[in-house]
Each structure stands twice: as C-alpha cells, then as structure tokens.
Structure 1
Amino acid sequence: MTERFASLMERKLPMLDRLAVITARDQYVRKVLIPMFSDEALDSEVRTAFQSGAGGYIYQVDTLNTAELKLILQEYSWADIIEGEPQLFTQVFHVVQHSPDEAFRAEVLAEIGPYAERGEIDGQEYALMYDRVELAAGRQQLYGSQLECLNGQFDVHDLKDPEGVDARRASMGMQPLQDYLEQGRALYGPC
C-alpha cells in the first residue's frame, strides 16, 4: 500500500504543484472579494461599482486559470486528477466551473460524466456544471444551481420541471432548492 502511494505521489507531484497555484488563485479572489462586496453596510452605489470592478478582475483570473489548466490537461487526464484523491477534482472543478470558456466547460462536462455516474466525483459538482453548461447553450437548467439577479435578489431562473427539482437535487446529494436560495442570498446580498 505504501509503495502504491509513493508511486502515485511521485507521478502526480509535478501536476499537483501547478494545480495548487491555479486552485489557490481561484479560491482566493472569491474568498476575499465576495465577502467584501456582500457587506450590507456598503452604500448600494459603492457596492455596484465594487462588484463591477471585482467582476473584471475575477474574469482576468479565471481566464488565466483556464489557459493554465488547458496546458495541464494536455499532459494529464481527468483520471490522473481523480485517481487516489477525489478532493483534488473538487478543487479543479471550481476552476472549470468559473471558466469563461463555455466550450471548455461543455467539453469537461462530457469527460467527467462517467465519473459522476460511477460516484467517483461529487454529484453536486456535476449538477452545478451541468446547469451552467445547459444555460450557456440556451437550454434550461435541471438542478436550479445557477442564480440570477431578479427583482433585487438572487433567484433561480430558466428551470426545467420546477416541481421535480428537489427530487433531482436530492439524487445528486444537494439540499432543497429553497435552502440553497436562502444561503445564496445571505452570501451575495442584494443585487
């Protein structure tokens, strides 16, 4: 067992170093900037201006991360990323989910589908990406994971079969839609 681990680690270390930078950058901008512009004490004009500026910066980071991840994926497969540590997929998933490259997200969704079916990756992550890809293609989302500013608050939009959404969410290990909406509204504040 130790020998297998050592072999896996040695094979993955070059990839892990590169992925660590990308995933840290992805999460850092979100963990620092989003709480700053979600502060309810901010004047609404200040919040709007801050959100706009922060959005531009986050877009630049996401574009850079996408380019770097594509280079890594020329050398390593999703199986390499998932093998031995599915939590690494979770970290890399966020980079793909935040990518402004819609075609890249759709390509990755198709590649990771079999891993989701076998339970090798988190169902919620697959559902989040599925909804984002569907909306980008002009179709409706299935799981209600993508929110939009409607009437001053974040809400679900373009949802296929709203009556069945909580059952679909439960099948993917997700909380009920109403709980998700309340958490999202608390995190992002008014819009």
Structure 2
Amino acid sequence: MKKLITLLSIMISVQITFAQNHVSKGDSLKGEGLLMPALAEYAGAMMENPTSEKSYRLASTTALLWTSQMRDTSFYFLNYALQNDSTLDVLYDPDFLSLIDDPQWKHIEDLQFEKYEAKTGAIKNKPLARALFRMIIKDQGFMYAGNIERRKYMQNGGYFSTPAIFPVLAMEEKNREENESRLFELLDEYGWPTTSLVPEFAAAVAALIVNHSSYEIRKKYFPMLEEALRKGEAQPLRYAKMCDRLLVEEGKEQLYGTQLKFEGNTRVPQTIEDPVNVDKRRAEIGLGPLNVYLKNRFDIDWHLTQEN
C-alpha cells in the first residue's frame, strides 16, 4: 500500500493529464535523465490500463532512483511485470543495479530461472550463470547516468554539466575492478563459460569483461575463448572481436574486420590482412560478410576496393 501511495502522490504533485501518449512521453523524459517526470507518465499509463510492459517501466525507473523506498516500489512492480515472463532478460538489465544486493533480487532470479528451465531445459551451472548475470549488471549499471552526462559533455564542448558525474565514474571503475577479480576466480575454477553450461548471454559476460580489461589479461584468457570456439561453445563474433583487438594491439593486421578507427570524421576498419579472403575467414568461424556486418552495426559502407 505504501508503494501505491508513493506513486499516487507523485502523480498528484505533477497534475497528470491522462492521455494515450504517457509511455512515449515517459520514455523521452527518461532518456533525458528526468526520472521523476518520467515516473509520473508511466504511472499515468499504468492507471489507465495496467500491463506488464508498463509495470516493467515503473520498476526500472524507480530502481534508478536508488532510495530504499523506491527499491521496494521497484520490486513491487517488477514482480507484477514478470508474472508471465519466462525469459532471463531482467537478470542482465543494468537499470536494476540498485536491486542486486537486496535479498529480494535472489527471489527474482530463482523465479526466472525456474520458468526459463521449465521452457528450455535445465541450466547446467546455475551458480555460474547467476554470478555472470550480476557481473553484466555491475559492468553496465551506471551507464544510464554516465551516458547522459557523456552526451552533455560533447554538447558542452568538453565539459561535464555537473560534478556528480565524477563519483559515478569512480563507481564504474570500482565495479570493473571487482568484476575482473571475481571473473578470474570463476575462469580458474570453471574454465571459459560455455553455452552448454550457462545461457548464451551469461556466456557473453566473460568476453565483455575481458575485453574491457588490459592487453595482458586478454592475451592470458584468449586461448580459453579460442578453445571454446573450436568446440562450438562460443559465439563467433566475440572470438573475432578479441582476436582482432589483440592483433591490432600488437601492431598487426586484423583478420575479421571487427576493429574500427577514424579517418578524419569517418569510421573505417583497421587494416585487414589479405582482405580478399576476409569473408572466407569470417565464414569459417560462422560469421557473415564483412560489408553486411559493418553496414548493419555501424552504418559503414565498406567495399573490398577500399583495402586494395
């Protein structure tokens, strides 16, 4: 009841006028960093027609507010939102960083694992999956606030709009260090997380964190990823990205075209070894043509003649 009173008081304070565009307005406000007005719009939409999607928006927005009262509100709406959801998407949503140390989060994890396993089969290493999912939330959990300020940094000619960004950046660094330490323990214990042990997105976390680390760390753990790929237990693009990054860091030409650089204001691939055969190499590990990848991912028009 306290949670509903909290939302009702917010709605009254901003004098909500009900309309069909509450959700889109809320999304726009949230994108600008205006969480309380966004929350009011989502609450208005929920009052008109309660749905799981709207409840999820309320949950993620209240979680971003970080107060203990709002965390309770977030769990309230998250439980409603997930009633018919058997995916694991919520378990790696960085908006919920403020929730993952609360005992109620483990309940959310347990329920989602249970529904997911009922639909797709057992997760062989659930403790590993749980740890990896929490790592991705920690890795990206401050990106909402950080990215808003980074956009303002660019708009303001190289100046942050508030000194509040600096503790956020410090927490990002702290989380990266903690994630690295924990991941290395897991890699030493279990080896590279494979798609037969954990859900695919959990398996992706190791490559993400290692790629965010140092060259020395990438060099140390890359053979584990390479072995997993040979066994069909790793996503090819993650292998290609780490392989290419290591080669570029060593002053060599990349093999798969995943690493980019700027030429003036234009992004282009770093130099590719034997570019005539780049698509053949990509196909051998399960990737599509490079020009399609670059266009779809980065809106880069690339042609083989650019490398000749």
Q: TM-score, normalised by structure 1?
A: 0.69
- Matches of 2:149 and 2:276 in 1, distance apart? 35
Deviations 1:146-187, CA, capped at 9 Å, x for gaps: 111222122101211111112222222323222333344349
Deviations 1:81-110, CA, capped at 9 Å, x for gaps: 5443351312322222222x1111112111
Distance 1:179 1:25, change over 3 A: farther
Task: Indicate the residue corresponding to 2:133 in structure 1.
Answer: 20
Query: Secondary structure of 1:164's match?
Result: helix
Distance 1:78 1:127, change over 3 A: same
Alignment of 1:72 with 2:204, yes or no, is no
- Matches of 1:138 and 1:124 in 2, distance apart? 21
In terms of fraction of residues, the more helix-rich structure is: 1
Q: Is the 8 A contact 1:142 1:168 kept in 2?
A: yes
The amino acid that maps onto 2:238 is E
Deviation at 1:134, TM superposition (A): 1.3
Alignment of 1:111 with 2:221, yes or no, is no
- Matches of 1:131 and 1:48 in 2, distance apart? 31
Q: Map 1:1-191; keep pairs closer than 5 Å.
A: 5=122, 8-9=124-125, 12-13=126-127, 15-28=128-141, 46=156, 57=169, 60=173, 61-78=175-192, 82-85=195-198, 87=200, 88-99=202-213, 101-186=214-299
- The structure showing larger relative contact order (alpha-carbon pairs under 8 Å, at least 6 residues apart) is 1
Distance 1:122 1:31, change over 3 A: farther
Identity %: 24
Query: Secondary structure of 2:182's match?
Result: helix
The amino acid that maps onto 1:141 is Q
Deviations 1:38-60, CA, capped at 9 Å, x for gaps: x7xx796547657xx89x94972
- Matches of 1:181 and 1:170 in 2, distance apart? 15
Q: Is the 8 A contact 1:109 1:129 kept in 2?
A: yes
Q: Is the 8 A contact 1:96 1:105 kept in 2?
A: yes
Query: Secondary structure of 1:23's match?
Result: helix
Flag structure 2 segments of 5+ consecutive residues without an equivalent: 1-117, 301-308
Q: Is the 8 A contact 1:123 1:172 kept in 2?
A: yes
Q: Is the 8 A contact 2:192 2:228 kept in 1?
A: no
Which segment drifts farther, 146-155 or 175-184?
A: 175-184
- Matches of 2:148 and 2:281 in 1, distance apart? 30
- Matches of 1:36 and 1:142 in 2, distance apart? 35
- Matches of 1:163 and 1:96 in 2, distance apart? 30
- Matches of 2:144 and 2:292 in 1, distance apart? 21
Flag structure 1 segments of 5+ consecutive residues without an equivalent: none
Larger Rg: 2
- Matches of 1:30 and 1:171 in 2, distance apart? 35
